[in-house]
């Protein structure tokens, strides 16, 4: 997994509206990139809705939120529409961005091992460096932690 102070890998992915989103287009802004395993599942829905609830606070800080999963564009669209999400949900079907950020890892569930996205979040500073890493996120209050850390990072 990427570490603090490393350069965030640039990427181009399609969002839920099939529009290309390029990370480097946000240079000069704070960016929150969160990786989630699968759209429309309980944990991922909670996480997305929590970020949506806090969206005005992130906007006030001139920060961008980008959600990333391996779901196809059509599923991302259905997810965004169903929960009225106002930020891009990016489709990384090939998993290249997940691997570049180090979130595609071996997971265990009920004694079974498989490869999957480990729910993780990265705050990227205006210069494109990783300012904060959240590995193995617990969704309940995660959005609040990210918002508070972003405020602190912006003031330092």
Q: What pairs with residue 129 in β-bridges?
A: 7
The whole-angstrom separation of Cα 44 and Cα 46 is 5
The whole-angstrom separation of Cα 5 and Cα 7 is 7
Q: Does residue 98 carry a catalytic annotation?
A: no
Strand spans (E) along the chain: 12-14, 20-22, 30-35, 63-69, 89-91, 104-109, 112-117, 120-124, 130-134
The active-site residue, picked from 8, 13, 44, 147, is: 44
Active site residues: 44
């Amino acid at each position: 997994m990427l570490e603090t102070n490393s350069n965030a890998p640039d990427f181009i992915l399609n969002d839920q509206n099939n529009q290309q989103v390029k990370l480097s287009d946000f240079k000069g802004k704070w960016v929150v990139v969160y990786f989630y395993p699968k759209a429309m599942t309980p944990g991922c829905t909670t996480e997305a809705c929590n970020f949506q609830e806090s969206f005005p606070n992130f906007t006030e800080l001139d920060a961008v939120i980008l959600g990333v999963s391996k779901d196809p564009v059509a599923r991302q669209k259905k997810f965004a529409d169903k929960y009225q999400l106002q930020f891009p949900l990016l489709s990384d079907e090939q998993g290249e961005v997940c691997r570049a950020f180090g979130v595609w890892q071996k997971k265990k569930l009920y004694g079974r091992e498989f490869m999957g996205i480990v729910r993780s979040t990265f705050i990227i500073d205006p210069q494109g460096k990783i300012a904060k890493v959240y590995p193995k996120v617990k969704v309940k209050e995660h959005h609040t932690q990210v918002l508070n850390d972003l405020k602190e990072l912006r003031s330092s």
